[in-house]
A = this chain, B = another copy of it.
Amino acid sequence: MKNIISNINKAFDHRIRLGIMSVLMVNDHADFKTLKELLGATDGNIASHTKALEKQKYIKVEKSFIDRKPNTRYIATGTGRKAFQEHLDALEKLLHNSNDLGKKE
């Protein structure tokens, strides 16, 4: 490993994306409105952050109509789950392991 943050995934740097992934790890899906409320974010915010995660193939979108109204539902992909888990492991290491300069690796 070259540096102590090399396994921290840039895609999860932002708290809203962290929140979205964290919700989608425990629930097999969540819709636009739910994410918006859970995260206290604006519409445009949810739209752009989900789009970013989608672009990375970390989540996928399913559009349908529920009660005649459009519904956008987000689901974590296998790739996304794996990437997020690896990110969490990296975080764990960064935070609990020694970045102690006294120790040589």
Q: Which of A6, A39, A88: most chain B Cβ within 10 A?
A: A39
> From residue A88, how far is it (CB to closest CB) to chain B in Å?
6
- Give the contacting residue for A10; candidates B15, B40, B88, B101; CB below 8 A: B15
A95 touches B14 (CB 8 A): no
Is A83 on the interface with B (CB-CB < 8 A)? no
B15 touches A5 (CB 8 A): yes
B94 touches A18 (CB 8 A): yes
User: Which residues of chain B come closer than 8 Å to A95, judged between CB atoms?
Assistant: 22, 88
Residues of A near any B CB (own CB < 8 A): 2-6, 8, 10, 13-16, 18-19, 22-23, 26-27, 30, 34, 37-40, 88, 91, 94-95, 98-102
